Amino acid sequence: MTELRSSLHGLWLPLVTPFRDGELDEVSLRRLVRHYADFPVNGMILAATSGEGMALGIAELERLVATVRAEMSDSRRHLPICLGLSGASTAKMCDALDETAAWPIDGYLIASPYYTRPSQRGMVQHFNALADHSSWPIVLYNIPYRTGVNLGNDTLLALAEHPNIVGMKDCCADRAQSIDFLRRRPSGFRVLTGEDAQYFDALTDGADGAILLSAHIETETFAAVQTLLGEGNRDAASASWESVSGLTRLLFAEPSPSPAKYWLSRTGLIDSAEVRLPMVEVSEELATRLDAEIERRTPPLLRRA
């Protein structure tokens, strides 16, 4: 395993979880890992929103992690792995941390408690309790439009003092809040944007990288945006971003990860676009739009009929 804090930068992939006939599709999963191991990806998130983690049972989660780690070992690319966890009960979350403590991961991505809408003081106590309990480092996941509660910057600054809380996936959808936190965060506390459409802006504002569903497609171009910015070549970075920014809208035109799974199945990386209810596969209208973009971007030999 890696030391997560030092690895939390660059482009991370929130890997989709392939299914076939209602079951975890390990063949497609291994194919995905082999494929992305050859690309400039700095780490992977498993079983978070894009990975339909809330639709997976504990045994499936364990198989998912074990399969990904085994395939990485076979490919000799030892990327760090964070496991996505979420829940509204601190006690139950501590139980989940116990159940997963021996798994071959490098840390957790943990969202704010959903639905219950705790106070800022309650969230400080919640995340501190998890960080005290966890065997692995924690990356906070602030996504108020899904959980119903926003981690304010003073709360984040308090949590950033905990030695076992090493960074944040920022989906607050408020650029002013994000910029304020980037300016005030303590040294060594990492911030990765999770807002695909705001990737370029977040990097120019000072984010350390990104966790992007859209980077399942045109992975090298998404990675090049940050590389070019780091080299001071803003014009080239902007041109690279313009070439893929439309994907960030298309792949979220219907609830994610269905559009991305459709694309990956049409290009042969996974065997089925299957998702689990309450998610559904893409509409015929969106499938037509996706097919047109696949036709434009994908060599004919890589397309499925």
DSSP symbols for 94-155: HHHHHHHTTSS-SEEEEEPPPSS---HHHHHHHHHHHHHH-SS-EEEEE-HHHHS----HHH
Q: State which residues form the domain around 50.
A: 4-231
Q: Give, as one character, the DSSP assignment of residue 151.
A: -
Q: What is the pTM of this model?
A: 0.95
Is residue 100 included in any domain, yes or no? yes
Residues belonging to the active site: 141, 169
26 inside domain: yes
Q: Residue 67 has what pLDDT?
A: 98
75 belongs to a structural domain? yes
How far from 286 is each of 87, 184, 188, 259, CA to CA, in Å? Answer: 32, 41, 42, 8
166 is a domain residue:
yes
Residue 22 lies inside a defined structural domain of this protein? yes
- Tell me the per-residue pLDDT of 187-239, one tens digit each, with 9 for 90 and over: 999 999 999 999 999 999 999 999 999 999 999 999 999 999 999 999 999 99
Domain assignment present for 258 = no
1 falls in which pLDDT band (50, 70, 90)? very low
Contact indicator for 7, 188 with CB cutoff of 8 Å: no
Domain count, the chain: 1
Gyration radius of the chain's alpha carbons: 18
- Least confident span in 62-66, 77-81, 236-240, 278-282: 77-81
CA distance 296 to 305: 15
**18, part of any domain:** yes
pLDDT one-digit tens code per residue, 22-71: 999 999 999 999 999 999 999 999 999 999 999 999 999 999 999 999 99
Tell me whether residue 268 is in a domain: no
Q: Does the pLDDT of residue 113 top 80, yes or no?
A: yes
Q: What is the CATH number of the domain that holds 97?
A: 3.20.20.70
Confidence (pLDDT) at 302: 56
> Residue 303's pLDDT is what?
56
Average pLDDT, the chain: 96
